[in-house]
Structure 1
């Protein structure tokens, strides 16, 4: 395998680990130099060597713990095999993933489409947004936040309680970013214990990708709004997989506990209750299915004015960057840059790796300099006075 391709694979693997947890990503990053299994000298306790009986008790306890952990690992492996069977069955049903697991409102694609029309207006957008209660409420709530609220000539805050006013204050160009971002927030799972930061990392990467895509698109003279939407939605497959995995884990664990109880297998019954979701298993399915599921879900949206589905297909198919269409290339570049920035934040990539990794995505002239000074953590909205 060529060196650059190997580095790209390593970085992608490292990044998927980061989305689950920093500790997992650090282990992956340091795996080549891992000396964790080296034998440490016996530690003295209270200034004396452990007595022989204490040493033996410690060894026995360690052996018992290892035996119990081995038993837990074998049960978890059985659970994951059953989860995989049920997962792959559900992944075949695009409508289930779209409507039930992700929960896309039937009118949301129409909202995205109408904003992409040149002759779009608040009057055309409002009736569609009004049919989506959560979006209506979130937009009004957002425009009343200290960062965005308006004041009158006397400096008094102008409270907004109407959707029409909220949309007018926001403006169409801002709405092209705000609505896809609010949708992504809405779909993101809230409870992912024992990996509580998955939702944060999914958001960080998607908003970072969307903002990077918008900047790169503007540099190469493509539609920034469509590039932003593609960047924002490119990882929705991972949202579906995370939701499904935790749901199926609970379901399969519950079934296994019931079976063990019925068969009076006390040890197994007790051990099954100790099991927690597997980060390694989750990482594997995210890497294997994430982009392909995103592509199918975006295709299911049946967007008529936001032409992002073909580009998402190319990204999901892992088409060589040199052979990609312009928009697909922007999506790949934006995603790669967002991954680099996040890995850099957690000190999980060095400069040599970063240079080689980004070089593989053929970033357009001036893009890296522009992105370096771009805030990729929040929407950069601009309002007319």
Structure 2
């Protein structure tokens, strides 16, 4: 007797969506736009008319393919054992992970702290921002976009070229949103073939979580900026794990190819050529390590005014979240963002969502309020602010 398959959880759907929208769609047995079912195709008609001899030939080919697939799976398993061993070793050195994998500078924590205080000023932020050359380029690019562009008395566009002017034109409140998002952008994985959508989806998830947390926080009388920064920076763990996985996969894959070629192991070499990065392993690694690494990164920054480290560690340790705590707000923001992303690709129904939202116990009217919020866009203001 065949047991009914377990329903696919919202969490599992989201993790697959993050890797590949097509993968998530297939997981639920949905067809891509324009795709017709096998039964509707000409191949289906031809299949039903196959002669007995052809059926036997196909079955033999299937069995041979299974045997080959079994060998490829064993090689892939060994490759990933090596990747996991190297990955776990590198995770034990948070300082190197922060600087060499995420490409972030030692002053990042100090800059985020300076932004979080009520008395934040451009004069105090400027030297901290200047210590990170990549940040200058990002801020100059943003401040010269149409949203923040200014004109002189003759109507000519003012081109901003100095860091101080860029900081002044953007203003403190915008910088409190922009700089944490640029830190995460800096840490984002860049090359993720054969899953090119990861960066886009992870960016949506980061912004969605941060903006949602910003709107939920005041309902618990928690500072909106703290919740926003927490929601954004909590993604540093995913960034690190994804970056490391693809980097180590390529390194180990190349080494094994060279080794099998040197040892004249033709079957192994051919199997390795058919092995690509695995969505299943990537999902499992994120589930196992992402929050722990995020906690390590926040602790490494030694934040003195933006108290996020303990909340992230509680999240990583799966401790119960106290109602209204940053940990609780992060869980609620993550859940809401996942549902919004799945809903936009028609991968959840109302029936799927109700128990998920109920379990989170959102503040009264929070969900109704969030419906009207564009959580995937940073809510930066065009108002001018000078410091």
TM-score normalised to the size of structure 2?
A: 0.89
Structure 1 residue 347 corresponds to structure 2 residue 346: yes
Partner of 2:3: none
Partner of 1:112: 112
CA shift digits 1:276-297 (9 cap, x unpaired): 0111111111111111111111
Partner of 2:164: 164
How far 1:213 sits from its partner (Å)? 0.6
On the 8 A contact 1:18/1:24 being kept in 2, the answer is yes
CA shift digits 1:104-154 (9 cap, x unpaired): 211111111111122221111111111111101110111101222123455
Q: Note the residue ranges of structure 1 that are not aligned, 5 or more in a row.
A: 1-5
How far 1:325 sits from its partner (Å)? 5.6
TM-score normalised to the size of structure 1?
A: 0.89
On the 8 A contact 1:192/1:246 being kept in 2, the answer is yes
Select between 335-344 and 9-18 the one with higher mean Cα deviation: 9-18
Partner of 1:297: 297
Select between 135-144 and 87-96 the one with higher mean Cα deviation: 87-96
Mapping of residues 148-297 of structure 1, within 5 Å: 148-297=148-297
How far 1:315 sits from its partner (Å)? 1.8
**Counterparts of 2:164 and 2:337 in 1: how far apart (Å)?**
34
Closer, same or farther in 2 for the Cα pair 1:223/1:43, shift >3 Å?
Answer: closer
**Counterparts of 1:148 and 1:127 in 2: how far apart (Å)?**
22
CA shift digits 1:260-303 (9 cap, x unpaired): 12221112112212210111111111111111111111111101
How far 1:28 sits from its partner (Å)? 4.0
Instruction: Find the residue that maps to 1:348 and give its secondary structure.
Output: coil
CA shift digits 1:61-111 (9 cap, x unpaired): 444433333322221111112212222222222222222111221111111
On the 8 A contact 1:314/1:324 being kept in 2, the answer is no
**Counterparts of 1:61 and 1:294 in 2: how far apart (Å)?**
47
Closer, same or farther in 2 for the Cα pair 1:42/1:102, shift >3 Å?
Answer: closer
**Counterparts of 1:343 and 1:356 in 2: how far apart (Å)?**
15
CA shift digits 1:307-340 (9 cap, x unpaired): 111221222222223x356222111111111111
Select between 72-81 and 166-175 the one with higher mean Cα deviation: 72-81
On the 8 A contact 2:38/2:44 being kept in 1, the answer is no
How far 1:41 sits from its partner (Å)? 11
Mapping of residues 121-160 of structure 1, within 5 Å: 121-160=121-160
- Cα RMSD of the aligned pairs, angstroms, is 2.6
Q: Note the residue ranges of structure 2 that are not aligned, 5 or more in a row.
A: 1-5, 31-36
Closer, same or farther in 2 for the Cα pair 1:324/1:71, shift >3 Å?
Answer: same
**Counterparts of 1:373 and 1:330 in 2: how far apart (Å)?**
19
Partner of 2:97: 97
Partner of 2:377: 378
Closer, same or farther in 2 for the Cα pair 1:329/1:55, shift >3 Å?
Answer: closer
Instruction: Find the residue that maps to 1:360 and give its secondary structure.
Output: helix
Partner of 2:331: 332
Closer, same or farther in 2 for the Cα pair 1:299/1:30, shift >3 Å?
Answer: farther
